Amino acid sequence: MTAALSEEEVVRPNVIQLVGVTKSYRNLNVLKPVDLDIKDGEFLTILGPSGSGKTTILRMIGGFTPPTSGRILLRGADISQVPIFRRPFNTVFQDYALFPHMTVAKNVAYGLRIRRRPAEEIKTKVAAVLETVNLTDKAERYPSELSGGQRQRVALARAIVCEPQVILLDEPLAALDAELRRSMQEFLKDLQRRIRTTFVFITHDQEEAISMSDRIAVMDHGNLIQVGTPQEIYYKPRTEFVAKFFGENNLLPAQPDNNAANILESPLGKHSLPASAKGGGSFLLAIRPESFSIHDGSELRQGQSVCVGRLENVTFLGATTQLSLNVGKAQQTIKVRVPTGQSGNNLAFGDDVPLRWSEADVNVLPRG
Amino acid sequence: MTRLERLTIALLWVVGGFTFMVLYAPALIVILFSFFAMKNHQIDWSNFSLEWYGRLADNSQLLAALYNSIVVGICAVVSATIISLALAYYMKTGVRRGRAYVEFIIFLPFVLPAIITGISLLVAFREIGLERSLITVTIGHIVLILAVVYRMVTIRLDTLENSQIEASLDLGANGLETFLYVVLPQLRSALLTSSLLAFALSFDETLVTFFLVGGETTLPMRLWAMMRTGFTPEINALVSVVLCVTLLFAALGAMSLRESIERKP
Ligand SMILES: Nc1ncnc2c1ncn2[C@@H]1O[C@H](COP(=O)(O)OP(=O)(O)OP(=O)(O)O)[C@@H](O)[C@H]1O
Ligand SMILES: [Mg+2]
């Protein structure tokens, strides 16, 4: 965690920049103008529901599909006209796309052989990469003789052996079962740290995105909605879609106060309207269940607020306990998650429970 | 095993054996005949000899026809294979408009009555002033076998995932390298079987050939011509040789087919 933070401080140059890139098929706009900077050495995840345009973005970076408009820059130079085989990127395909008529070693050596590297170099590099992915003993096997996870690692080895500037991965873990998937997640993340290559990784699994990424780009319906660190995406969502997409969240309606233009009123009380949220109309407040705590009566710190909720339900989740409480005049239900020890055993249904939270954890979102 | 099962299996053996006999007995008889001398149009069973093989070796007309058939067959197969490969790969690597029409035109000569194909080609060649010769015969055979070769190439190519081609490009190979190292090796057995089949079609083609043949003739045409004067026994030797070579190739084809099935993931 601390290591990640100190690395953040170093300003990383951009490897790839998408500038106003769009894609349409006939009259169908599958990608609205997208601007995205991919930084050197980062693990960037593109996350979104099915059909949101994730693969389209990846294929445009790789050169498999030309963008309808906009520019794709590699370290500042436009590569729109560069053919696939001249781009310094390598792709791990969802179906692995291994060559069935070549052994594992031949598959991995393919990129180097095409580049006419000396035989000695190919041999040592292939051996080293197979070692990295733990497939040394499978070198002479054919892909049809491997398990799904092993094929996956061959595909990975085939991509990294070419030492590309960026590795593109299109849902590489989708076909694996849950357990293998988890171990491959760790393996991938670990590998990325070791070889310090930029990874652009596609998934539609939120947990996978949060646990693996340096940054996440959230897509929906061909729009790039928000780009940020997992913490930013989780605690500072900028739209309702992002707020709902990751884990549990409380979304509460909020109206501008009749008397003061920059004060919002919600079931939790009054909030100041941040400058970034402009316009009239109504808003949504997003606040995580774990951002609340039970108010013990001690003095409030700067920026903290309290309110009272009526306890409706208690769910024991192990280390944490989830409370359902009704708040405000409209008796809006909110969820609160507190460490199990803190909830105490003396809470009874119908009790009024005092809650405390920090205004900084409240996100004001445009509604709609 | 119950009695009924045993009975069924026995019956199957009998039926199978009978079918086999009907199919192959004539061929076996011909082979047998080729090794015995002939006396007054009767087989002389006491006289084993290789005489007919010797006579065959001296029959320059028959050998020339055989040689022509082989040359025409090889040329037609090679040309049809190259055309099919180029066209099928072109169709594979992108959305090509008019694919259905092109394929229809390729398949047409295969389903049209051969007489129509033959006459059309004859008229066309006369119009452009191309003399009838082995070249016109070869062109006719290409038109005919293209359907088979193209079909078999596309069937195999369709099972090749596009992502394999993309992966190859992604790893730095250009279109030609991708074709040579990724596509072609996986088409090997399909090409071998289609070549064998196409060669067999070309080898005994008579209807279209009939319209296109010039001074030099092919083996089937030569045999038709000999029918009028009656066969000489060296025909038996010829048939035996052709049969053995065919069997050899068929076995080769079957073996390569099995290998390709086992290799598939
Ligand atoms: N060749 C094509 N022709 C027409 N529409 C296409 C084509 N390729 C993709 N699309 C459309 O573009 C949209 C985005 O597709 P894309 O494959 O990028 O989605 P995705 O986010 O990768 O989804 P998934 O998670 O299901 O893989 C989809 O609505 C899809 O139907
Ligand atoms: Mg996709």
- Domains belonging to chain B, first-starting first, are 3-49 (no CATH), 63-235 (1.10.3720.10)
Burial (CB count <10 Å: 0-12, 13-18, 19+), residue A67: buried
CA distance B246 to chain A (A): 29
CB contact under 8 A, B264 and A101: no
**In the listed set A240, A256, A282, which residue is the last one of a domain according to the structure?**
A240
Percent of chain B with pLDDT over 70: 96
Q: Please report, as a single letter, which amino acid is at residue A219.
A: M
- Minimum-distance CB partner of B263 among A101, A158, A162: A101
Percent of chain A with pLDDT over 90: 51
Burial (CB count <10 Å: 0-12, 13-18, 19+), residue A222: buried
pLDDT average, residue stretch A85-93 = 93
| Continuous segment of H or E residues that includes residue A2 | helix A2-9
- A62 CB neighbours in chain B (<8 A) are 170
Tens of pLDDT, residue by residue over B67-121, are 999 999 999 999 999 999 999 998 888 777 888 898 899 888 888 898 999 999 9
* A167 and A33, same domain (yes or no): yes
CB contact under 8 A, B173 and A143: no
Residue nearest to atom 1 of ligand 1 (CA): A25
pLDDT at position B178: 94
Q: Please indicate if any CB of chain A lies within 8 Å of the CB of B180.
A: no
* A69 and A133, same domain (yes or no): yes
**Residue A320 sits in a domain of what CATH number?**
2.40.50.140
CB contact under 8 A, A143 and B265: yes
* A80 and A216, same domain (yes or no): yes
Confidence band of A272 (pLDDT split at 50, 70, 90): confident
pLDDT at position B265: 45
| A54 ligand 1 Cβ < 6 A | yes
* A289 and A232, same domain (yes or no): no
Paired residues of A355 in beta bridges: A294, A307
Residue A185 inside a domain? The answer is: yes
Q: Please indicate if any CB of chain B lies within 8 Å of the CB of A84.
A: yes
* Structure ipTM: 0.82
pTM: 0.80
| A66 ligand 1 Cβ < 6 A | no
pLDDT at position A16: 94
- Residue A67 in this model has a pLDDT that exceeds 60: yes
**Residue A68 sits in a domain of what CATH number?**
3.40.50.300
Q: Which atom of ligand 1 is nearest to the CA of A53?
A: 18
pLDDT average, residue stretch A127-138 = 92
- Residue A143 in this model has a pLDDT that exceeds 90: yes
| Continuous segment of H or E residues that includes residue A293 | strand A293-294
Under a CB-based contact definition with an 8 Å cutoff, are residues A309 and A327 in contact? yes
pLDDT at position A1: 42
- Residue B264 in this model has a pLDDT that exceeds 60: no
* Rounded Cα–Cα distance for residues A357 and A307 (Å): 9
* A83 and A219, same domain (yes or no): yes
Residue A6 inside a domain? The answer is: no
Q: Quote the mean pLDDT of chain A.
A: 88
* A269 and A230, same domain (yes or no): no
Residue A7 inside a domain? The answer is: no
- A141 CB neighbours in chain B (<8 A) are none
Tens of pLDDT, residue by residue over A96-105, are 999 999 999 9
- A99 CB neighbours in chain B (<8 A) are 164, 167-168, 182
* A138 and A219, same domain (yes or no): yes
The mean-pLDDT minimum among A115-119, B16-20, B33-37 falls in B33-37
Percent of chain A with pLDDT over 70: 93
- Residue A346 in this model has a pLDDT that exceeds 70: no
| A53 ligand 1 Cβ < 6 A | yes
- B164 CB neighbours in chain A (<8 A) are 97, 99
CB contact under 8 A, A162 and B171: yes
Residue A213 inside a domain? The answer is: yes
* Rounded Cα–Cα distance for residues A288 and A40 (Å): 32
- Residue A255, domain extent: 248-366
pLDDT average, residue stretch A57-75 = 93
* A307 and A360, same domain (yes or no): yes
The CA A64 to ligand 2 mean position distance, Å, reads 13
Tens of pLDDT, residue by residue over B163-219, are 999 999 999 999 899 999 999 999 988 898 899 889 989 998 988 999 998 888 899
CB contact under 8 A, A85 and B174: yes
* A269 and A338, same domain (yes or no): yes
Confidence band of A3 (pLDDT split at 50, 70, 90): very low
| A316 ligand 1 Cβ < 6 A | no
* Rounded Cα–Cα distance for residues A171 and A42 (Å): 17
How many CB pairs below 8 A link A and B? 66
CB contact under 8 A, A62 and B185: no
**In the listed set A182, A210, A240, which residue is the last one of a domain according to the structure?**
A240
Residue A1 inside a domain? The answer is: no
Under a CB-based contact definition with an 8 Å cutoff, are residues A352 and A310 in contact? yes
Under a CB-based contact definition with an 8 Å cutoff, are residues A140 and A116 in contact? no
Our count of domains for chain A comes to: 2
pLDDT at position A344: 60
Confidence band of B231 (pLDDT split at 50, 70, 90): confident
Q: Which atom of ligand 1 is nearest to the CA of A49?
A: 25
Residue A157 inside a domain? The answer is: yes
Name the residue with higher pLDDT: B262 or A195. A195
* A204 and A288, same domain (yes or no): no
What is residue B12's three-state secondary structure? helix
Residue A9 inside a domain? The answer is: no
| A27 ligand 1 Cβ < 6 A | no
**In the listed set A210, A240, A270, which residue is the last one of a domain according to the structure?**
A240
Q: Please indicate if any CB of chain B lies within 8 Å of the CB of A110.
A: yes
Planar angle of CA A343, A346, A352, nearest 5 degrees: 80
Closest CA to B245 of B219, B222, B265: B219
- Residue A119 in this model has a pLDDT that exceeds 70: yes
- Residue A331 in this model has a pLDDT that exceeds 90: no
* A164 and A308, same domain (yes or no): no
- Residue A336 in this model has a pLDDT that exceeds 80: yes
- A89 CB neighbours in chain B (<8 A) are 170
* A236 and A262, same domain (yes or no): no
* Orientation of helix A148-160 relative to helix A104-114, angle to 10°: 20
pLDDT at position B85: 93
Q: List CB-based neighbours of ion ligand 2 within 5 Å.
A: A 55
CB contact under 8 A, B265 and A93: no
Residues with Cβ < 8 Å from B38, sequence gap 6 or more? B44, B233
| A259 ligand 1 Cβ < 6 A | no
